A and B are shown apart, each in its own frame.
Chain A
Amino acid sequence: DAKTTQPPSMDCAEGRAANLPCNHSTISGNEYVYWYRQIHSQGPQYIIHGLKNNETNEMASLIITEDRKSSTLILPHATLRDTAVYYCIVRLAGPEYGNKLVFGAGTILRVKS
């Protein structure tokens, strides 16, 4: 299984960009990187995903290095409501894995005023 490594916690000032790093050095060529976040006692919320190109949506941007061994999630203007646990996940390829999402421990992002 491809594993991900994230810092356990990060702080960010309100209104500033939050940059959350993730290492996934064993990722296979057809496996996608997904980002989810979880606010306490709720189900994880999808943020964004990508394969090798950078991606952007209304919530965030995803920057994937050329060798695909790491990525960065960018929240351009963090608000207090962005305080959550952020999970960087590799979706395993192949029917034998059921395309399952493999979660790590995640990064606790604290946005402070």
Chain B
Amino acid sequence: DGGITQSPKYLFRKEGQNVTLSCEQNLNHDAMYWYRQDPGQGLRLIYYSQIVNDFQKGDIAEGYSVSREKKESFPLTVTSAQKNPTAFYLCASSSHGLDTEAFFGQGTRLTVV
């Protein structure tokens, strides 16, 4: 089945540790996106990538890093510099163009203790 997969679904980390969230898609999409969602809030864009080996900061990129070495993969690292990392993280992908829907993964809930 084609789709976008995030893993793990739940993740616990100690404060001060870096953690990497996985996002893989087999939809042959060029563009991929990472969003953060806090309780009762909408989604905020962290980073996006339009093509392999290229990515841009979104609205809340501080404390995060990404890579795009392969078309199908767009991992997100939450670094120790992120002051409030506990949140629900969502990955999405789409083809280029305004007239194409974006597909979302099921999310990773990160809790930092």
Q: Are B98 and A31 in contact (CB under 8 A)?
A: yes
Question: Chain A interface residue count: which class?
Answer: 20 to 34
CB distance from A90 to the nearest CB of B (A): 10
Counting residue pairs across A and B whose Cβ atoms lie within 8 Å, the total is 62
Question: Chain B interface residue count: which class?
Answer: 20 to 34
Interface SS, B side: strand
Q: Which residues of A contact B33 (CB under 8 A)?
A: 98, 100-101
Q: Are B105 and A43 in contact (CB under 8 A)?
A: yes
Q: Interface code B94-112, partner A: CB below 8 Å = 1, 0 otherwise?
A: 1011110111111101000
B11 part of interface (Cβ distance < 8 Å) = no
Which residues of A pack against B, CB within 8 Å? Answer: 30-32, 34, 36, 41-46, 49, 51, 87, 91, 93, 95, 98-106
9 contacts between A and B (CB under 8 A): A34-B101, A43-B106, A45-B104, A46-B103, A49-B99, A98-B31, A99-B31, A100-B58, A103-B44
The 4 lowest CB-CB distance pairs between A and B, nearest first, are: A43-B104, A103-B42, A103-B43, A46-B101
Which residues of B pack against A, CB within 8 Å? Answer: 6, 31, 33, 35, 41-45, 48-50, 56, 58, 88, 90, 92, 94, 96-99, 101-107, 109
